[in-house]
Amino acid sequence: MARIAGTEIPDNKKVKIALTYVYGIGRALALEVAEKAGVDGDVEVKNLSSDELTKLRNIIETQYQVEGELKQVVKRNIKRLKDIACYRGIRHKLGLPVRGQRTRHNAHTRKGKSMPVGGLKHKLEKT
């Protein structure tokens, strides 16, 4: 397996798909990187020469923010929003959807499992 930016990319996939395994590289960026390196995006990674892999690795590491560096930038941006207590920062703190989604029926992935409130009346009557 080839290693680019600290990530193992699969050998049996085409270059344009395999590069998307690196955090911060999507489909469009993968094609752009392959074009800059002079590598055909439809070739499988196992068929690349070591020179082509080195070109890909150098382009990604020098020209783009990926993996740990990008994750730190995203984390700092979210922390800044929380610190200035803007609307988006408050939504991040509360664990609610940030980008305007409704919360009445959806947003279960952000809010977590619903907590039932029923049965409280009977507990209060017994005591």
Per-residue pLDDT of the chain (127 residues; tens, 9 = 90+): 788 888 899 999 999 999 999 999 999 999 999 999 999 989 999 999 999 999 999 999 999 999 889 999 999 999 999 999 999 999 999 988 998 888 888 788 788 777 777 666 666 666 5
Token pair in block for residue 118:
């029923």
pTM value is: 0.73
Task: Supply the pLDDT for residue 118.
Answer: 67
Report all structural domains of the chain as residue ranges with CATH numbers, in order of start: 2-64 (1.10.8.50), 68-112 (4.10.910.10)
| R_g of the chain computed on alpha carbons | 23
99 contacts 116 by C-beta, under 8 angstroms? no
14 contacts 30 by C-beta, under 8 angstroms? no
Task: Supply the pLDDT for residue 116.
Answer: 74
Which residue type is seen at 8? Answer: E
**Residue 30 phi, psi (nearest 5):** -65, -40
